[in-house]
Structures are given as structure tokens and as C-alpha cells.
């Protein structure tokens, strides 16, 4: 039997040598946000890609010609030009190479949970944050610095863990800081939490650095060689720069994108490529999910965000329950102040305009989108009117809201809505008149198609009375032909004409929580870390849909995937040289749905949303739980509602005086109830990592091919009782105490009806994750919707957790689920 030191003994010996600076063979002289010398060991440092390149690769000593010091070691200077790299983060990185270092403590107040999706302080939970002795406080500033440092040193596992912590702590108090970091617009030194002081040195490692204040080495050797290099992991982000001096080292620099690609603040910082984009995606998704809620809190008012309504009653279309504002039960604990997101000093004006215009913004309908935009603009105007902002607001109100999909009441009210600050209307009369004309033409087209005896009917056999298509879509080739044939004034009109893409089959996940390890067990690489987070699925024909008009790259130029692109005739032609894509001159109908207590849903039962009217037809969305081969599946479907059938009761939050019994903590996977209250990540298939397992980053999560755009028709009528369409709203449960809770609602206003048995429509459904940091987006090319027919998607795996708790504190047990705990989805619907 061979007796020797165990791996644990060797690791302890190396870490002790690091702490005592004994038997070191290289002195690392660091300059940057701090100046110090570290006495280290090459055999340990080469685990880092940066140091491996330094000692064994392109930065070999034979090329550098380092001068040996008196004690047989060498001194190497490393200049950190990235101001996001701090002393504490660097020391944690080095300590991890030695297999030690302080554990990281994340405050529970920064961690969204399924019970407190906006973080505990927003639910009145004010638990004391006690950092365990020996732990290093992982503040948002430190986590960003740790990520930047780990990327610089090419340590993918540690960088992945830092990224995971950042994504798990995206919330009201961090979203602006993280978004600014993702855009490379500001150094972390400009975001210092006044309540939490970051230790200058890593906890427990205060003495490993030999601090220096002058240009001379503490070892007394004036001649040393200097290196300024991020890591091999960012090699694709910027070119390699070489100095003209053949005796000097090669120089690599982290460079953010060119000024022409993004707006720069006065304090610019590096952009870390796809890693930065992943943080940006999470922030953008979060903002579209919680936009209205956070605005309400920022205004300090628990009432819905909307302008004073007209004297005529409009409660049916703008009821307080249907408003996405559910923050009346929330209160910030302690001395916390509402974060500034929408007011002056918050998001940039361009970002606000992009969020207002986004198809995935969670607002009930276009009228509430207008209400939200109006409130934000007036909030900003309180601190003064800025000319360049006003230009952006004007364009936002003109192009970001689909007025043709509003009722005439709404359009009339908006035309009379005057800003109390500028004394002018928010929307020009020309825009509203044009929208009314568009709406009228669509109505005529639908009704004339259904009854072809009208004055424009040609009675041709090619246009049967109840054809599923109404003939409003056109190809890019058709648009080009119109432009070619148009002359004079008509040519200018055709060039300015706006078109909306007819969607294709695709599915994509935007944003990721970073907790899914590689399935093959292979250690994470820098290439894995820099892989894009969203991968577009194949369509039913086996073709990749990544170049479809409805899918866009997720980077800062597209506001990390939430931007809604606007096409005129010429841009349609430029985008599609093949001439085969389809377009519609009518904007799609956008609305949002919300489902509460999904985890209480019984097998094969349905939970419906509110019912909406669009272009002569009624639609709603429902979720359904089914079991297939012993596996739970949750589906979400768009349903064409019959005009004569009762309107199904819609999902509603539990009343405050009604207790909600939580499911058992340890529920078997084959049961329908999960441990956490709600919001399964509908279509994720990767299993969640356990808290005790190492956290690795998975570049993408999207449903398997069997559940992607191939839709599942369902001809069954709603199985749950519903009230007659003429019934008033009843604020009570419709199932006699059963769960989930539902609400009986009347049918929406129906200016006209499309009597056709079948219509052809394209649609998209975007489901937000529990805390809002990711979205699963499905889109479908035109499908035939017969009356009472449904199309949609269902998951192959039911997941009720979107993250792993990393905080060490346990919140009070009396924190009950609130109205904010729900499944939120946005829907886009258009006829062809």
C-alpha cells in the first residue's frame, strides 16, 4: 500500500503557501484600481487561461526575456486597464485557483423568489442581513467585478458562477445597474451602494497583497516586463494589437464596441460580448414584465396608472381588476425607497420608447399601453422639458402604439387628452384619423368578404363567400411591384406605407438563469460561456427559422431582443431580397393574459384568460395540464371563442380573505402540484441544478423539436361553467371554493362580427418566467381557426423553479403568495 499525501493535504499545503507567500516563484505586480504585488506559484496560476498563455503560450519567457530576481523568482507587471476589475474580485479569483477563498454571501433582500418575485423588501419582509463570519458580501458591484475579473483571467467556471449570481439577483434595486453594465455604459465604480460598503480586500485575504504607492517594485528591481491583457475568452470581441517594439510583449485589450454601434456615457467601460448580452437580455425581459408595476410604485400611488377617464362609463374595458397593476398589497420595508426606473435619472429615453413599443410589454391592451406611456412621459416632464426627449416621445406615440386596434371610444378620448405640462395632445390628430381609416377599411374588407354581394364584389369563383383568407397579406414581390408602378404622389405614399410581418413558425428563449450545467459533464469552456443564449428552433419543415422576420438578434442594438421592428415598403424589400416573405398592412392585435394558481390546476381542466374581440372574432387564451406517458405537461393555447357560447370564466387572483394552502414541499414529480406557488417555465427541458451542485452556465434552453411550432388543435368546448355574456362582473369564485379562483366576466364590445366558420391567423405567445428574467416565445405561421378551435403549444417537462436559491437566509414562513405570483404572457394576433 502506497502511503502519501491525499489531494486534500496537497490543496491545504498550496493554499497555506499562498496565504504565507512561502516558496513563491513569481511576483505579480498589479496596477489598476489598486497597486500591489502578489507572491504566487506558476503551477497553480496556469489553471487560468490568461496565466497559461503567459507562461506556456505566446507569452513564453523566452520571448519576454524576463530578468531573474535575486531570490530566483521573476517579477511580471500586469496592468488592468479595465476599471471593473477590483482588488477583492482579483483576490477571490486567485484564491479559487488555490482551491480556497471566502464563501460568497448574497443578501436575501436581493434574491427574487417564487413567493416574492420582486424581492422580499417589496413584500414587507425586512429580515436582518447578517453576513456570516468569514464570508465575503456578494454585493451587485462585487458580482459584476468578479465576472469582469474572471473573464479577464479566462476562468470560465468562476465567470459562469458570477454570471449566475447576477442573473439570479436581477430585480428592482439592481436592474438599472446591471443594464448599464451590459451596455458598457458605466463602470461599477459609479454604482456604490450607500447601505453596503464593499470590503476593499477579499475577506480573509487582507494580507496576501503587498500594497505599493509608487512606481518602484518593492523587491527593488527596476527592470520588469509589463502585460496588459484580458484573456483568451474575449479574443473574438476585439483584434489583437501588437507593439512595434520586438522586445515587448503582445498586448490584448478588452474593447467595447465602436461608438457608432452604441451610445456612450461619460464613463465608458468594456463590453464583454455575449456575456454582457445575457445580462442585458435578463434586464430587458424583466423590464417588460414589471414595467407597469414598477411605475405605479415609483409614482407612490396604488391606483392604476391611467389618465382621468371620460365622463362616460368605461368600466367594462378598463376595470381595475383587469389592469396589470397589482402592487396595492406591496410595501417597501424599512427605509427602502422606490427605485428610480422611469423618472429622470432612470432609464434612457430611447430605452423607454423601446419598452413602450415592445410586443412583449405586459399591458392589457393598446389603451393601457397608451396609459403607461402617457404616465411615464408626464413623470419625466415634472423635472423639466428637454427638446431631444420630446422628439423621442412624439415618435413613440406615433409609431409605438397600434391605435387601429383600439375602440372608437378610446381613440376619441385620446384625441382630447391634453398634457397638463405642455398643454398639447400626446398624439397628433393625423395619426388618430389615419388609424380610424385603417380600422374602417379592415372592417369593410372582412364584412365584404363574408358577404360578397357588396359593391366591390366581382363575384369571381376565386373568392368564395366564406374563404378563410381575406386577402390582405402580400409578398415582398407584390410590394416591389406596387412601388415600381406608382408615380408622383402615389409613389411617395407607397414608400411611406407601413407593413407588419406575417409570422413564421419559430420558438426561442430569450434570457437564461445560468444554472444548467452541460449535459455531457465536460467542464465549461470560454466558448461555452460566450455562446449566444437564445437558439431558434427548426420549423415543421425542418428548415431553421433563425432568419425569419419575426426573430431578431439579442444585443444592445435590438434592446436585447425586445425591440419591435418597423418596416416601410423599402425596408421590406431590403430585408427580403427573395421577395417571398408575407406582409400585412394592418397591425397585429396585442394583448396580455395572466393566470394565477396554475399549480392547483387539475389534469385536463382549463384555466382561461379574459376574452378579447379582434376583427369580428372573439379570442381567449387558456392553459391546460395533461399527463402523457407519466409526464406532466402544461400547454398554452389561443382559442377562437364562439359568439353564441357562454364566455368562460377567467383566471383571477385569490381574494385577500381566502387562504391559499401551499402544496406539499416534497411533491413527487408525477403529481400535478409543485413545491413553489406558480409560474412554471413552460417549455424548459433542462433539469434544474440542486443547491449543492456546482453552478454552470447553459447557453440555451428551448423546447424539444416535438413541442416546437407544430400546433395542437383542440375542438372541445370549455369544460368549466361560465356565465352568460350579459352577466355583470361578479367578484367571487365561480366554482364554489375550488381552486384556481376564477371570475365571471361579460363579453367584450363587438362592433361587428365575422360570420365565417373559419379564419386564417398568425399569432405569437411569449411567456415570462417567474421572476421575469427570461421569456419563452412561440410564433406560428397562419393557421385555420374554426369556431371553438384552439392552436398552441405544450411542454414536455413541467418546471416550477426558475432559479436555485443561493442566499443563506430563510425568509419568514408567513409570507403568503400575492397577486404578483402568476403566469404572465403576451399575445400577438393577426389575420391574413
- For residue range 182-215, list pLDDT tens digits in order: 998 866 665 555 445 789 999 999 999 999 875 5
* pLDDT confidence band for 607 (50 / 70 / 90): very high
The DSSP symbol for 385 reads: -
Q: What is the mean pLDDT of the chain?
A: 75
* pLDDT confidence band for 15 (50 / 70 / 90): very high
- The set of cell numbers assigned to 313 is 362609463
CB 501 within 8 A of CB 549: yes
Does residue 254 or residue 84 have the better pLDDT? 84
CB 790 within 8 A of CB 784: no
* pLDDT confidence band for 634 (50 / 70 / 90): confident
- For residue range 344-357, list pLDDT tens digits in order: 999 999 999 999 99
Cβ-based burial of 69 (10 A; exposed 0-12, middle 13-18, buried ≥19):
middle
Give the domains, in start order, of the chain with CATH numbers: 7-261 (3.30.710.10), 301-337+340-442 (no CATH), 501-543+589-803+815-832 (2.60.210.10)
Averaged pLDDT, 559-564: 92
Pairwise CA distance, residues 386 & 147, whole Å: 36
- For residue range 714-740, list pLDDT tens digits in order: 333 333 333 333 333 433 444 444 578
CB 65 within 8 A of CB 73: no
pLDDT at 9 (0 to 100): 84
pLDDT at 560 (0 to 100): 92
CB 356 within 8 A of CB 320: no
pLDDT at 247 (0 to 100): 32
CB 271 within 8 A of CB 750: no
* pLDDT confidence band for 604 (50 / 70 / 90): confident
Top mean-pLDDT range of 85-94, 106-115, 715-724: 85-94
Q: Tell how many helices (H) and how many strands (E) occur in the chain.
A: 18, 23
Q: For residue 605, is pLDDT > 70?
A: yes
Helix axes 366-381, 387-399, angle to 10 degrees: 180
pLDDT at 54 (0 to 100): 84
CB 165 within 8 A of CB 279: no
- The set of cell numbers assigned to 525 is 469552456
Give the N- to C-terminal CA distance of the chain in Å, as an integer.
79
- For residue range 251-285, list pLDDT tens digits in order: 222 223 333 333 434 445 688 999 999 999 999 99
Q: How many other C-beta atoms lie within 10 A of the C-beta of residue 381?
A: 18
Q: For residue 75, is pLDDT > 70?
A: yes
Cβ-based burial of 343 (10 A; exposed 0-12, middle 13-18, buried ≥19):
middle
* pLDDT confidence band for 70 (50 / 70 / 90): low
pLDDT at 35 (0 to 100): 95
Q: For residue 638, is pLDDT > 60?
A: yes
pLDDT at 821 (0 to 100): 83
Pairwise CA distance, residues 162 & 805, whole Å: 14
pLDDT at 319 (0 to 100): 33
Paired strand residues for 509: 776
Kind and range of the H or E element at 387?
Answer: helix 387-399
Amino acid at each position: 500500500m502506497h502511503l502519501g499525501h491525499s489531494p486534500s493535504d496537497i490543496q491545504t499545503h498550496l493554499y497555506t503557501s499562498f496565504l504565507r507567500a512561502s516558496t513563491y516563484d513569481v511576483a505579480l505586480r498589479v496596477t489598476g484600481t489598486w497597486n500591489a504585488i502578489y507572491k504566487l506559484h506558476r503551477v497553480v496560476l496556469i489553471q487560468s487561461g490568461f496565466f497559461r498563455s503567459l507562461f506556456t503560450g505566446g507569452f513564453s519567457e523566452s520571448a519576454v526575456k524576463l530578468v531573474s530576481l535575486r531570490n530566483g523568482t521573476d517579477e511580471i507587471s500586469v496592468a488592468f486597464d479595465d476599471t471593473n476589475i477590483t482588488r477583492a474580485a482579483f483576490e477571490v479569483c486567485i484564491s479559487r485557483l488555490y482551491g480556497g477563498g471566502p464563501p460568497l454571501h448574497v443578501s436575501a433582500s436581493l434574491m427574487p423568489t417564487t413567493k416574492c418575485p420582486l424581492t422580499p423588501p417589496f413584500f414587507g419582509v425586512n429580515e436582518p442581513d447578517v453576513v456570516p463570519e468569514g464570508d465575503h458580501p456578494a454585493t451587485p458591484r462585487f458580482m459584476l467585478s468578479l465576472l469582469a475579473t474572471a473573464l479577464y483571467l479566462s476562468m470560465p467556471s468562476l465567470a459562469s458562477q458570477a454570471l449566475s449570481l447576477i442573473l439570479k439577483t436581477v430585480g428592482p434595486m439592481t436592474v438599472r445597474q446591471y443594464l448599464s453594465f451590459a451596455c458598457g455604459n458605466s463602470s461599477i465604480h459609479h454604482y456604490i451602494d450607500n447601505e453596503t460598503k464593499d470590503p476593499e480586500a477579499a475577506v480573509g485575504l487582507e494580507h496576501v497583497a503587498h500594497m505599493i504607492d509608487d512606481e518602484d517594485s518593492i523587491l527593488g528591481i527596476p527592470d520588469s516586463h509589463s502585460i496588459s491583457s484580458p484573456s483568451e475568452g474575449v479574443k473574438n470581441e476585439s483584434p489583437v494589437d501588437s507593439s512595434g517594439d520586438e522586445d515587448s510583449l503582445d498586448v490584448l485589450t478588452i474593447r467595447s464596441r465602436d461608438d457608432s454601434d452604441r451610445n456612450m456615457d461619460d464613463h465608458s467601460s468594456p463590453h464583454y460580448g455575449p456575456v454582457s448580452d445575457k445580462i442585458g437580455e435578463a434586464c430587458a425581459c424583466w423590464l417588460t414584465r414589471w414595467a407597469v408595476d414598477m411605475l405605479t410604485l415609483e409614482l407612490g400611488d396604488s391606483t392604476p396608472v391611467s389618465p382621468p377617464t371620460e365622463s362616460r362609463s368605461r368600466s367594462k374595458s378598463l376595470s381595475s381588476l383587469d389592469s396589470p397593476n397589482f402592487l396595492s398589497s406591496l410595501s417597501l420595508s424599512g427605509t427602502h425607497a422606490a427605485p428610480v426606473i422611469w423618472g429622470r435619472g432612470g432609464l434612457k429615453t430611447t430605452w423607454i420608447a423601446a419598452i413602450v413599443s415592445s410586443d412583449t410589454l405586459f399591458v392589457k391592451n393598446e389603451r393601457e399601453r397608451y396609459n403607461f406611456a402617457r404616465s411615464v412621459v408626464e413623470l419625466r416632464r415634472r423635472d423639466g422639458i428637454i427638446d431631444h426627449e420630446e422628439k423621442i416621445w412624439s415618435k413613440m406615440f406615433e409609431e409605438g402604439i397600434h391605435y387601429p386596434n383600439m375602440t372608437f371610444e378610446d381613440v376619441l378620448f385620446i384625441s382630447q387628452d391634453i398634457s397638463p405640462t405642455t398643454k398639447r395632445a400626446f398624439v397628433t390628430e393625423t395619426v388618430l384619423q389615419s388609424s380610424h381609416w385603417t380600422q374602417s377599411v379592415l372592417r369593410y374588407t372582412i364584412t365584404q368578404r363574408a358577404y360578397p354581394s357588396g359593391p366591390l364584389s366581382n363575384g369571381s369563383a376565386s373568392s368564395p363567400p366564406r374563404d378563410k383568407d381575406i386577402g390582405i397579406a402580400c409578398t415582398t414581390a407584390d410590394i416591389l411591384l406596387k412601388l415600381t408602378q406608382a408615380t408622383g404622389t402615389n409613389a411617395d405614399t407607397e414608400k411611406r406605407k407601413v407593413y407588419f410581418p406575417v409570422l413564421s413558425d419559430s420558438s426561442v428563449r430569450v434570457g437564461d438563469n445560468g444554472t444548467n450545467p452541460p449535459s455531457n459533464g465536460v467542464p465549461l469552456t470560454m466558448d461555452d460561456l460566450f455562446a449566444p443564449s437564445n437558439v431558434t428552433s427548426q420549423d415543421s419543415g425542418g428548415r431553421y427559422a433563425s432568419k425569419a422576420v419575426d426573430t431578431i438578434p439579442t444585443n444592445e442594438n435590438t434592446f436585447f431582443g425586445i425591440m419591435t421592428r418597423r418596416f416601410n415598403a423599402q425596408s421590406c424589400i431590403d430585408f427580403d431580397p427573395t421577395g417571398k416573405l408575407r406582409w400585412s398592412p394592418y397591425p397585429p392585435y396585442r394583448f396580455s393574459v395572466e393566470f394565477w394558481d396554475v399549480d392547483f390546476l387539475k389534469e385536463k381542466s382549463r384555466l382561461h384568460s379574459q376574452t378579447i374581440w379582434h376583427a369580428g372574432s372573439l379570442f381567449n387564451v387558456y392553459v391546460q395540464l395533461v399527463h402523457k406517458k407519466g409526464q406532466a405537461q402544461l400547454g398554452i393555447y389561443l382559442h377562437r371563442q364562439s359568439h353564441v357560447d357562454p364566455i368562460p370564466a377567467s383566471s383571477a387572483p385569490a381574494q385577500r380573505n381566502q387562504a391559499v394552502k401551499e402544496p406539499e414541499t416534497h411533491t413527487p414529480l408525477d403529481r400535478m402540484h409543485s413545491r413553489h406557488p406558480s409560474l412554471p417555465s413552460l417549455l424548459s427541458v433542462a433539469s434544474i441544478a440542486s443547491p449543492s451542485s456546482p453552478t454552470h452556465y447553459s447557453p440555451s434552453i428551448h423546447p424539444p423539436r416535438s413541442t416546437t411550432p407544430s400546433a395542437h388543435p383542440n375542438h372541445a368546448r370549455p369544460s368549466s361553467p361560465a356565465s352568460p355574456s350579459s352577466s355583470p362582473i361578479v367578484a367571487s369564485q365561480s366554482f364554489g371554493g375550488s381552486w384556481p379562483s376564477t371570475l365571471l366576466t361579460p363579453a367584450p364590445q363587438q362592433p361587428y362580427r365575422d360570420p365565417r366558420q373559419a379564419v386564417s391567423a398568425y399569432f405569437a405567445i411569449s411567456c415570462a418566467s417567474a421572476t421575469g428574467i427570461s421569456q419563452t416565445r412561440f410564433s406560428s405561421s397562419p393557421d385555420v381557426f374554426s369556431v371553438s378551435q384552439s392552436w398552441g403549444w405544450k411542454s414536455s417537462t413541467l418546471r416550477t423553479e426558475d432559479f436555485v436559491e443561493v442566499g443563506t437566509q430563510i425568509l419568514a414562513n408567513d409570507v403568503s403568495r400575492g397577486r404578483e405570483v402568476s403566469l404572465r404572457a403576451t399575445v400577438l394576433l393577426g389575420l391574413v
